[in-house]
Amino acid sequence: MVTHFKKAYFFLLILFLLPGLNAQNLPVQTQPDPDQCNNIRTYLMQEAEKITDNSFNGITTLQDWEKVKTKRYNELVEMLGLENMPMKGTRSELNVKITGIIQEKGYRIEKLYYESLPALYVPANLYVPDNIQKPRAAILYVCGHSPTQKVHYQAHARKFAQLGFVCLIIETIQWGEVRGDHWGCYSKGWFNWYSRGYNPGGVEAWNAIRGLDLLSERPEVDPEKMGVTGISGGGSQSWYIAALDPRVKAVAPVCGASTLKFHILTRTIDGHCDCMMPINTYRLDYQSIGALIAPRPLLIAQADRDGLNTIESVRELHADIKNIYKFYGKPENISLVVTPGGHSYHRISREKIFSFFMKHLMGKQIPPESAGDINESPEVQLSEEELKVYIDGPPENDRTTKIQDSFVKLHTDPEISNKKELGIFRDSVKRFLKRETFGAFPKIPERLEPRLIYRTADGAPYGSDIYSFVSEKGWRLKVDIRWKNDPYKKKPLMIVLRSPDEDRWESEGFINDLDSDWNIAFFEVRGVGENGWAPDLQWHIRRASAWTGRTVASMQVYDLLRCIEFCRTLKGVDADKIGIAARDDMTVIAMYSALLDGNCQTLILKNPPESQDRPSQPDGRGPAIEMLNCLRVTDVYQLPVLLFPTRIEFVGKIPDTYQWSEKTLIKLRKE
């Protein structure tokens, strides 16, 4: 009984002394905070809503729009991975090869392919009306996600030719005669595309721009009268192409766009291909893309029960973009045609599109019903074999199936010989990361609003405190601090990151041998422990996060930075002696956080990944270490050098990729 009494007395003494010492008279939280739901779906819906609703924030006049127009154009170019492409000026030769000609009544079909980049070939059919006396209007038809591409959509190209247009219908890299990949993140687990800054929509947009080059060079075409149209994936491409290339004088996207707000709210994002949204570095929505088209004629065609794009969201897009057209004094140049049914064309939309292009590219006022509809009767359809371009197979050096490996320029391993060169490299990397990887970090951080959750005399020689703090609006996270030393004295603090799905006491065992001079804090970032979500939601969260300009890993980095910020406010923590310990994929979070913080003394890393340029599980479950665009400037194996002179201790096997850091650090330490 005496022993028990003494233990209880000691516990009460700790409770009496420590609130004024480490808790700094923090309020004790006794019930959940209704504003801090720690719900990832709610958070992403709110962030998507901000993007959509603030698309034109502060833009109330044409002058306001013109001030930001060039910036948003350049942002779209970059988000599609086109920043190193010659958007203006001289481009590589197209090297057009015609492999056959089919003569039909009133027009001919040229089967051809062209080289949009060296060794990147685009198969296409060119429909040319007979008896062209002078250059005339042309249509670039971009295919949706149909396996037979130009065969499936041939009725549209045929109709354009019958109406007097030259029509080039091009195939995507995913389907048609050569099968590349659109569905990297969608179905193959290639979430490293986000880290690369790669989006298949960028390749398609570039191939289409080169298709416009091809049309412009044809003697039958008036380059001042070119339009673009397509459905679904071809619909989204129509938005991109017209926004990127001013040679497009009129555009009619069909079932190709929605707002982020509705995509995340309704989870229609889950049915969309990766090409349907650029790498959203700058957190833009389709309002900005549409505004870049203004004041050129834009006809948005949308089905009212589309399972991929809600009609409400498309109406919102139309209304928002129309305001920009009003600034130009051209509100009549944008229109919306709504058709009944699901994700598809309808006679109403097709006839409206034909009439639209005849008006804006030919100067002919032809009512939709007079323009007529396509003919899909079997007897007029040409077979896949008849329309085939690659008679003997594609060129041997064709890059289509591997274009994702080379389309975006990635980082290199620089030669760093001294600390000055390291400083220059590190500064450039941090500037890039802050702008294009971690740009979604709140511009004004929320107040930490720390609270004491629980206190005990157990767990460490001087007891343990569990605090909570606000990381970001909607997220209140906990940190469990074990005081191994007298809390009256400032001591180093090692923040131990718990891992997803770790066993009980696993983190404690990992850090058990830490020098006794360190106090220890155990921390769970978003996606871990009680801040986690169901494994079957991980695929959706990874894609929805990227569409809103962030990733799971970048959110976790922010959480850790905020945890470091909070811990430095505690009286028993030496602010200049913060360490981070992590295992496996959480080492990525530790290193990037230390780099951005710039004042971490020590890192303990066990089994770090060899690279962020690696695939994940096809179902999207498991670790998520992708970060938008990071591989354009660095990779995780370079971070030990960028963190110099921070002390880094590796536990377990160090991947071979880290040899670059090891060799560079040897040179730096000799200086």
Give pLDDT tens digits for 293-342: 999 999 999 999 999 999 999 999 999 999 999 999 999 999 999 999 99
First to last CA, the chain: 64
b/e per residue 203-216 (b: at least 16 CB within 10 A): bbbbbbbbbbbbbe
Q: How far apart are CA 349 and CA 302, in angstroms?
A: 8
pLDDT at 631: 98
Strand-pairing partners, residue 299, are 335
How far is Cα of residue 356 from the mean position of the Cα atoms in its chain? 33
> How far, CA to CA in Å, does 250 sit from each of 73, 241, 321?
18, 11, 15
Q: Confirm whether 50-405 and 416-670 share one CATH topology.
A: yes
Looking only at the bridges linking them, the beta strands covering 600-606 and 519-523 are unpaired
pLDDT average, residue stretch 184-203: 98
Cis peptide before 655 (omega within 30 of 0): no
Mean pLDDT of the chain: 94
Over 90: is that where the pLDDT of 6 sits? no
Helical (H) or strand (E) element with 268: none
Q: How far apart are CA 501 and CA 518, in angstroms?
A: 26
Q: How far apart are CA 71 and CA 540, in angstroms?
A: 30
Residue 115 φ/ψ, nearest 5 degrees: -105, 100
pLDDT band at 18 (very low <50, low <70, confident <90, very high): very low
Q: pTM for the whole thing? A: 0.94
Q: How far apart are CA 370 and CA 551, in angstroms?
A: 50
pLDDT band at 28 (very low <50, low <70, confident <90, very high): confident
Strand-pairing partners, residue 497, are 523
Q: How far apart are CA 234 and CA 253, in angstroms?
A: 7
pLDDT tens for residues 340-375? 999 999 999 999 999 999 999 999 999 999 999 999
Q: Cβ(465)–Cβ(483) under 8 Å?
A: yes
Maximum C-alpha span of the chain = 110
pLDDT at 21: 42
Both structure tokens of 11 = 């516990």
> How far, CA to CA in Å, does 466 sit from each of 224, 461, 477, 570?
68, 15, 10, 12
Domain ranges of the chain: 50-405, 416-670
pLDDT tens for residues 554-594? 999 999 999 999 999 999 999 999 999 999 999 999 999 99
pLDDT at 37: 85
| Packing angle of the helix pair 200-217, 233-244 (nearest 10 deg) | 60
Fold of 416-670: Rossmann fold (3.40.50)
Decide which of 3.40.50.1820, 3.40.190.10, 3.40.50.300, 2.60.40.420 is the CATH code for 50-405: 3.40.50.1820
Which of the residue ranges 7-16, 469-478, 562-571, 597-606 would you say has the lowest mean pLDDT? 7-16
pLDDT band at 33 (very low <50, low <70, confident <90, very high): confident
pLDDT tens for residues 620-659? 999 999 999 999 999 999 999 999 999 999 999 899 999 9
pLDDT band at 522 (very low <50, low <70, confident <90, very high): very high
Which residue from 319, 294, 298 is spatially nearest to 62, judged by alpha carbons?
294
pLDDT band at 488 (very low <50, low <70, confident <90, very high): confident
Strand-pairing partners, residue 339, are 303
Both structure tokens of 509 = 């065992």
Both structure tokens of 359 = 């008006």
Over 60: is that where the pLDDT of 4 sits? no
pLDDT tens for residues 58-91? 999 999 999 999 999 999 999 999 999 999 989 9
Q: Cβ(493)–Cβ(577) under 8 Å?
A: yes
pLDDT at 43: 97
pLDDT at 403: 98
Over 80: is that where the pLDDT of 282 sits? yes
Over 70: is that where the pLDDT of 15 sits? no
Over 90: is that where the pLDDT of 30 sits? no
pLDDT tens for residues 212-252? 999 999 999 999 999 999 999 999 999 999 999 999 999 99
Q: Cβ(215)–Cβ(136) under 8 Å?
A: no
Burial class (CB in 10 A: 0-12, 13-18, 19+), 114: buried
Over 50: is that where the pLDDT of 125 sits? yes
Percent of the chain with pLDDT over 70: 96
